[in-house]
A and B are shown apart, each in its own frame.
Chain A
């Protein structure tokens, strides 16, 4: 029995301190792991604020107002460098933007199709001139898109250059129907890309607030669950 009891001379103060230090390191590692696992790993905290609207409706955002004025598509477009073709369709959207506070403009756009697939512009363009507060500018945006699920597509419009995270974005239903998509697919002539035009004074004024009265709350929409980044 006495063999099981360690010799008291082996339990020195130095060894006790070393053991305690080892234990503290282990506890710190466990605590670090628990904290690490508790921190959200998604971009949910950076989810954009969304304001849902439809074609021809004015959407009031933190930085200004936007309104989609027209939507069209064709298999080919003709711009300043000539005719460009695409595997399926070029989607061309015209919109107006009026900054409220600073000289700025729309800097980021995407398409969410009817199946919630996300399209960047591909080889398309974002033609949108920066204007002074209160002055409306016309923008032309083109996208390379798949015709499948294009019905029900929405345009997202943002102000941040790189992406939509933590931005206030407009999600605009382009009101595209399947029969319209079918007609666009049959267009033989290249679609002439419109030139972005200046429009003049808009209604966005400093001090105006977005329509829902909240300047920083996420707007709710029917497809709100699809809004966050993965």
Chain B
């Protein structure tokens, strides 16, 4: 018993000699350290909704409906040269219900491919991780690059990524859909859409190939999943 009392007494004497600030700080550090034993230091789990193909996702400022995915080596559009490897094309309807056009610089944040190796941005000055490569957006009915999206309009859209030569052709892709926040810019105070945040993930089978625009706009997905 005397053996136990000695360290306790020593601790009490030590604490008595400390300031209140030191004691509070010490207690806080002890709590932080001990919380690690109960998972306090583990990475926070992402809470991301899983959506289905053809399900409409609210991802401000757009509504996104992913319809399918395909590959292509020739999109038959003057805005797309032949790829080094292949294009991965996700077809989706993008709708704006905003009161003013959404600038093209902001709409490119709408989606990223997750877990597809070999996705890259041609002519980029540095290597960008595949899951951070922004798609190029084109209107599926004529293959031209999309620009600002006006209020009340729905564009059947190609979201186009390029995959390096030799990278395995995916049988399915997971598309991360991102929403943003309308707020004032911290640089110049102007209002805009900022802070892309992952809203939902859609896993889409890659079926067939796209060989050019679809002027009718109704060609996806056709029975059997081929455009």
Contacts and interface: CB of A to CB of B under 8 A. Distances in A.
Interface of A: 41, 43, 81, 83-88, 113, 116-123, 143-146, 148-149, 229-230
Interface of B: 78, 99-101, 103, 139, 141-142, 144-155, 184, 189-191, 215, 217
Contacts, number: 65
Contacts of B148: 120-122
Q: List 9 A-B pairs, minimum CB-CB distance, nearest first.
A: A146-B152, A118-B100, A117-B151, A120-B101, A119-B150, A120-B148, A87-B153, A123-B147, A85-B141
A81 B78 contact: yes
B192 to A, nearest CB: 11
B150 A122 contact: yes
| A-side interface mostly | loop
A146 B151 contact: yes
Given A123-B147, A146-B151, 17 more contacts: A43-B190, A85-B215, A85-B217, A87-B153, A116-B99, A117-B100, A117-B152, A118-B99, A118-B100, A118-B151, A119-B150, A119-B151, A120-B150, A122-B147, A123-B145, A143-B150, A146-B152
Interface centre among B99, B101, B146 (most CB of A within 10 A): B101
Contacts of B191: 229-230
Nearest to A229: B191
Given A87-B154, A116-B99, A117-B99, A122 B141 contact: no
Contacts of A81: 78
A55 to B, nearest CB: 22
B65 to A, nearest CB: 14
Contacts of A119: 100-101, 150-151
A122 B149 contact: yes
A16 B217 CA distance: 78
Nearest to A119: B150
A144 B150 contact: yes
Contacts of A113: 151
26 contacts: A41-B184, A43-B189, A83-B142, A84-B142, A85-B142, A85-B217, A86-B139, A113-B151, A117-B99, A117-B100, A117-B151, A118-B151, A119-B101, A119-B151, A120-B147, A120-B148, A121-B148, A122-B101, A122-B147, A122-B150, A143-B150, A145-B150, A146-B152, A146-B153, A148-B152, A230-B191
